[in-house]
Structure 1
Amino acid sequence: MAYRESFYRYLMTQRDTDSTDDVTQFANNAQHDLSFPKQEQNYEKLSDYLELNASYLPSMSIFDRAYRMYEDKMMY
């Protein structure tokens, strides 16, 4: 089985303090979330965590978009 990086590690590649893009803002804020499940790859587990703990995420559709980007990247 091929190595697959965690969602958090992928998300950190999307950070940019000068951008106003929703996914980028999610990444910028997640960086400061000390409880974020940094090793997780599973959509459901990440979604559950964010729904309960991520007040910095205004809409779960932002996570959905970021997760699709993550999946696309992991296909290669």
Structure 2
Amino acid sequence: MRRSFYQYLMTQRNPESTEEVATFANNAFFDQSFPKQAQSFDELSKYLELNGNYLLSMSIFDDAWQMYLESEN
């Protein structure tokens, strides 16, 4: 069974890091309404566009999504 994007993203958490994906992961951890079971780019993208005020740029999500896809292969 494929893991959700959130499960992957939590592997990138690092409170000490200033890397964009790590910062995204740290902030998503505290976002209680983040769609934790989602595996769809469109669903996650729409959510972050409306609720991801902690995400400085959607390109960070795009990078994290690409890393997620690569990790699942």
Give the TM-score normalised by the residue count of structure 2: 0.99
Q: Where does structure 1 differ by over 6 angstroms across 4 or more consecutive aligned residues? A: none
Which structure 1 residue ranges, 5 or more long, are not aligned?
none
CA distance in 1, matches of 2:40, 2:72: 13
Which letter maps to 1:47? S
Give ranges in structure 2 of 5+ residues lacking alignment.
none
Three-state SS of the structure 2 residue aligned to 1:41 is: coil
Report sequence identity in percent.
Answer: 59
What residue identity is the alignment partner of 1:15?
R
Match in the other structure for 1:54: 52
Aligned to 1:70: 68
Structure ID, larger Rg: 1
Q: TM-score, normalised by structure 1?
A: 0.95
* Counterpart residue number, 2:8: 10
Cα RMSD of the aligned pairs, angstroms, is 0.3
Shift of 1:33: 0.2
1:67 Cα deviation after fit: 0.2
Q: SS state of the match for residue 30, structure 2?
A: coil
Please list, as runs of the form range in 1=range in 2, the aligned pairs for 1:16-55 lying within 5 A after superposition: 16-55=14-53
